[in-house]
């Protein structure tokens, strides 16, 4: 009996529109039923969209298609080109909903052994899921309070960049109250 089932890549296992929330929700609900019925773990490989200026190229919030794909998972591993654009180097990043994520790892393929080797390890700031979970717990959060809460983990620009990614993915909204910007979950 299998314990883990890999869907790699996801698009080969359905013929639905990835940008359609309703269709992706139906697919993910069916995967939940499959997982629960057979008591298996699912590992889903999916591609990221190209980042826009200022976005991290390895954030799971950038999963191609509907934002329900990001909302579905418990753990994310992303593999992206190295930030210094070194040929053959990749950045392996983690984002976990229910635990502290391990440090990002820069790896490269050894052409002699064909094994990936760790080149460097570095924590790359604040995961967007932390901001999302904080905002859910608060209900509504003023921008000033959000920046103050996370200032030990990241710079103001990093924090607001993560917030912009969440806004683009439509996982949070914002509204103005006087001169203050407030964020809230959808």
Tokens of 62: 């950038």
pLDDT of res. 124:
52
Which of the residue ranges 37-41, 92-96, 152-156, 166-170 has the most confident prediction, judged by mean pLDDT?
A: 37-41
Pick from 83, 78, 75: nearest CA to 62: 78
Does the predicted TM-score (pTM) go above 0.85?
no
Tokens of 64: 């191609």
Residue pair 173/186 in contact (Cβ under 8 Å)? The answer is yes
Buried b (16+ CB within 10 A) or exposed e, 136-167: eebeebebeebbeebeeebeeeebbbbbebbe
Instruction: Tell me the C-alpha distance between 13 and 180, whole Å.
Output: 45
Pick from 117, 128, 61: nearest CA to 90: 117
Give tens-digit pLDDT for 84-143: 667 778 888 888 888 777 777 888 888 899 998 887 766 556 677 888 888 888 888 899
Pick from 70, 47, 67: nearest CA to 57: 47
Strand 75-81 to 89-96 pairing: antiparallel
Pick from 69, 75, 126, 123: nearest CA to 99: 75
For residues 145 and 61, which has the higher predicted lDDT (pLDDT)?
145
For residues 83 and 17, which has the higher predicted lDDT (pLDDT)?
17
Pick from 166, 111, 117, 122: nearest CA to 143: 166
Decide: helix, strand or coil at residue 96. Answer: strand
The structural domains of the chain, ordered by start, are 4-121 (no CATH), 128-185 (1.10.10.10)
pLDDT of res. 13:
93
pLDDT over 60 (residue 45): yes
């Amino acid at each position: 009996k299998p314990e883990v089932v890999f869907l790699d890549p996801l698009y080969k296992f359905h013929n639905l529109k990835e940008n359609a929330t309703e269709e992706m929700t139906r697919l993910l609900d069916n995967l939940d039923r499959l997982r629960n019925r057979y008591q298996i773990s699912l590992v889903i490989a999916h591609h990221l969209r190209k980042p826009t200026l200022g976005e991290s190229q390895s954030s799971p919030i950038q999963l191609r298609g509907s934002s329900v794909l990001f909302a579905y998972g418990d753990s994310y591993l992303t593999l992206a080109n190295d930030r210094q654009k070194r040929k053959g180097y990749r950045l392996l990043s983690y984002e976990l909903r229910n635990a502290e994520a391990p440090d990002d790892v820069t790896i490269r393929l050894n052409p002699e052994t064909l094994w990936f080797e760790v080149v460097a390890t570095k924590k790359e700031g604040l995961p967007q899921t932390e901001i999302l979970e904080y905002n859910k717990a608060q209900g509504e959060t003023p921008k000033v309070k959000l920046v103050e809460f996370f200032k030990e983990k990241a710079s103001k620009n990093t924090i607001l960049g993560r917030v912009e990614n969440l806004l683009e993915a439509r996982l949070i909204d914002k509204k103005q109250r006087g001169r203050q910007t407030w964020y809230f979950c959808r």
